[in-house]
Amino acid sequence: MTGEKAPAETTVLVAEDDPSIRLMMATTLRAEGYTVLDAADGPSAEALAGKYGVPVDVLVSDFVMPGMDGHQLAERLRKRFPGMKVLIVSAHIAEEKVQKVVVEEAFKKGAAFLQKPFTPEELRRKVRAMLLGM
């Protein structure tokens, strides 16, 4: 547990274009004590990440979004926040493009993946495991 941030000191950026899923994710993570920023798409998430002057510790992003997909968003934010953890969520894992990016993110860049639909408990466990390096 050495060097681990307390939940209130951990900033999570949620990027999800479905309002009900975004609300569930943000509410779940806030209930865990994380500072949560949430946005409806990649460009909004990127702007939000720069607005508050605090590092983004975890990006939780849908893969398929208008304007910028989750992989593109992660690539852009990693330039500003090199230690940022990434959790890609998607219901489109059967699509070849999504599989390719998930493999690249997971195996080359250490990102995690969570298949939609998922429960709040699954989201809590996944984010916690990422922060603990599991």
Q: What burial class does residue 100 get, using C-beta atoms within 10 Å of its C-beta: 0-12 exposed, 13-18 middle, 19+ buried? A: exposed
The tens digit of pLDDT for each residue in 24-75 reads: 999 999 999 999 999 999 999 999 998 887 899 999 999 888 889 888 999 9
Domain interval for residue 91: 7-129
CB of 53 within 8 A of CB of 59? no
- How many CB atoms sit inside 10 A of residue 45's CB? 27
- Counted domains in the chain: 1
Residue 123 forms part of a structural domain: yes
pLDDT tens digits along 75-131: 999 999 999 999 989 887 666 766 676 666 665 667 888 989 999 999 999 999 999
Cα separation, 77 vs 65, in Å, equals: 16
- pLDDT at position 2 is 46
C-alpha to C-alpha distance for 110 and 103, rounded to whole angstroms: 10
Whether 1 maps to a domain, the answer reads no
Beta strand segments in the chain, E: 11-15, 35-39, 58-62, 85-90, 112-115
Does 134 reside within a domain? Answer: no
Is 3's pLDDT higher than 60? no
CATH number at residue 116: 3.40.50.2300
pLDDT score of 112: 85
Give the other-Cβ count within 10 Å of 61's Cβ. Answer: 27
Query: What pLDDT is recorded for position 111?
Result: 82
pLDDT value at residue 30: 97
